[in-house]
Amino acid sequence: MHPVLRIIFQRLALGVLTLFIVSIVIFAAVNMLPGDFAQAILGQGATPEAIAAIRRDLGLDQSYITRYISWLLDMLQGNLGISYAQLNFQSNMGGQNLKTVADQIAPRFANTMFLASVAAVIAVPFAVTLGVLAALYRNSAFDKIINVSTLTSISSPEFFLAYILVLFLAVLNPFLPSIANIYQGIGFWDRLTATLLPALTLTLVVTAHMMRMTRAAIINLLASPYIEMARLKGVSPLRIIVKHALPNAWAPIINVIALNLAYLITGVVVVEVVFNYPGIGQLFVDAVKNRDIPVVQACCLIFAGAYILLNLAADILSMLANPRLRHPK
């Protein structure tokens, strides 16, 4: 077998094993939350008989191991179950038009992916360009200003940056809406306008990591002998960085970009709540508040799967970008 394929299969096996371990942690953590989920569904006025009946119907009277195996087998078949909130709604409304967890997650996940894509399209080229310029003009006033600005953004909580952007871009200067009003059938440009403010917030958060890694990787390569030879030949500094240093710096840059893209998918909870964005992060918060176990477990597993998948992609792209990583001798 080709060495690259062997490494890819090894990474895939480790990813599946990691996801299995994470599923155990998710199931144990969710079921260790205080309170009775059946009591939360039925309310404070429920009788002990009604609570016992709903626990039996939901399978909450079974052992943790039995419930975990049943949940895992359903997950492997693509069955995410029925949310407890939907069951409560069914009991109140006669059981019409019941939605599964997958039906609830699918449009929310699509909204989150759209938000992450917009933020990535803005952040990745912006961060790499800033990193190249900071390395080109290192120790200059421009480099110091960029470093201070990125350190400030990376040190600020997401909700603080979100409220600052709302103040300047939605209140004092009403260029963008402060609430992401996303609805079914919305046009692309209206969706993009509603998504731009939360996307800019995420851009400020992730740009600093990518910019600083790009700058550090390029500066580290500028001391290499082949870079010195290019300088002695009279090659311009910008051409040295773009044509000689940057291609060899892609491996660490790809890693940090993949980690930040994973954050754009898994770390959007705070941003979605601030802007009332109808994504999977907002759904996750609502599910935790309502003690909706199937939705919480499904959201956590999706977050973990996305993070593991993007890390796997980062490893593979790093090997393709740097031939030395294909031969670990």
- What residues are paired with 100 via a beta bridge? 82
pTM: 0.81
Can you tell me the mean pLDDT for 16-20? 88
What mean pLDDT do residues 269-296 have? 85
126-171 pLDDT per residue, tens: 988 888 888 888 888 888 888 888 888 888 888 888 888 888 888 8
Range 210-219 average pLDDT: 84
CA 303, distance to chain mean position in Å, is: 7
pLDDT digits (tens, 9 = 90+) for 168-201: 888 888 888 888 888 777 888 888 888 899 999 8
Query: Are the CB atoms for 208 and 126 separated by under 8 Å?
Result: no
Q: What is the pLDDT of residues 303-326, one digit of tens each?
A: 888 888 888 887 777 777 666 655
**What pLDDT does residue 206 have?**
86
Exposure string for 318-328, b = 16+ CB within 10 A, e = fewer: bbebbeeeeee
Domain ranges of the chain: 16-79, 106-326
* Three-class secondary structure of residue 180 per DSSP: coil
294/328: higher pLDDT: 294
pLDDT of 37 above 60? yes
The residues that bridge with 318 in the sheet, in sequence order, are: none
Q: pLDDT tens across 222-270, in order? A: 777 887 888 888 888 778 877 777 777 777 788 788 888 888 887 788 8
**Which class in CATH covers the domain with range 106-326?**
mainly alpha
Average pLDDT, the chain: 81
pLDDT (0 to 100) of residue 93: 47
Position with higher pLDDT, 220 vs 20: 20
Q: What share of the chain is helix, strand, coil (3-state, %, to 5)?
A: 80, 0, 20
Residue pLDDT, tens place only, 60-90: 777 788 888 888 888 888 787 777 766 655 5
pLDDT of residue 78: 79
Find the range with the poorest average confidence among 21-25, 58-62, 204-208.
58-62
Please report the pLDDT score of residue 323 as a whole number: 63
Confidence of residue 42 (pLDDT cuts 50, 70, 90): low
More confident residue, 43 or 110: 110
Go through 120-151 and write b for each residue having 16 or more CB atoms within 10 A of its CB, e for each that does not: bebbbeebbebbbbbbbeeeeeebeebbeebe
